[in-house]
Amino acid sequence: MDQKLKNKTAIVTGASGGQGAAEARLFAQAGARVILADVQDALGEAEAESIRDTGGDAHYRHLDVSSQENWQTVVNGIKAEFGELHILVNNAGVALRGGRVTNTSMEDWNRVLSINLTGPFLGIQTVAPLIRDSGGGAIVNTGSIAGMTGHFATAYSASKWGIRGITKSAAMELQEWGIRVNTIAPGLVMTPFLEGSDDFIEALGDQTPMQRGAEPEEIATVALFLVCEDSSYITGHDIAVDGGFLDFGGFNRVINQVMEKPDQKV
């Protein structure tokens, strides 16, 4: 594989499995030193060891992204041990698909917002000075199609709409530090995040023009593009990786229904 991230150091949050682990593996294959950060220590350590077993440079760090103190400890450790940092992927997140606006508790609201929105804010705030001092780099925030269209899970949707605002503000403010900031907005991705959500998977898959969910590696390749020099002139942008869900909209369903009829009246 091309060493597009040779001599780069990256931190990926929520990297103990699923999309974050796929991103960490791909970055390591591309030559980066990768710090996997998560609260699931056993899984994170195992993932880092797996990457090292295949020749990659990977290290695990415990990180609760909602804790400013945790962020500072991890970043101070990276600076002390490696001296530099070039890439941040804010991937850690939680879902709350059952929480509607009328029945979402304050406890659930605060939990989702603290991880999905405050976490990336703290990550950017803490990491950006070290990326600047390392010569610049890139930040990728993980959004969702739930932050680009109407969605039924209020807290989750609010957090993902908020990510887009953080991305655009940070991109403007950090460009003078040589830091690009972008958002990936995945659609249906087949990760442990969806365990026990069979009905949701079936319904969203049916509404997705490509008629399937993405594999985590398909999201990871977009993250790699956004953190390497291939995307050197892209910043402040939201990229939907959703099998056509947003861009085709309801018309995909309409045309399929029409085509099923022998006597089409269009």
Catalytic residues: 156
Q: How many CB atoms lie within 10 A of CB 153?
A: 20
Q: How far apart are alpha carbons 105 and 103 in whole angstroms?
A: 6
Q: Supply 123's token pair.
A: 């990550």
Cα–chain-centroid distance for residue 24? Answer: 12
| Residues contacting residue 200 through CB under 8 Å, at least 6 positions apart | 97, 194
Q: How far apart are alpha carbons 213 and 201 in whole angstroms?
A: 8
Helix pair 216-227, 18-29: axis angle to 10 deg:
50
Q: Taken in order 59, 29, 143, 102, is the CA torsion positive or negative?
A: negative
Q: How far apart are alpha carbons 136 and 78 in whole angstroms?
A: 16
Q: Which of 80, 173, 85, 60 is nearest to 121 (CA)?
A: 173
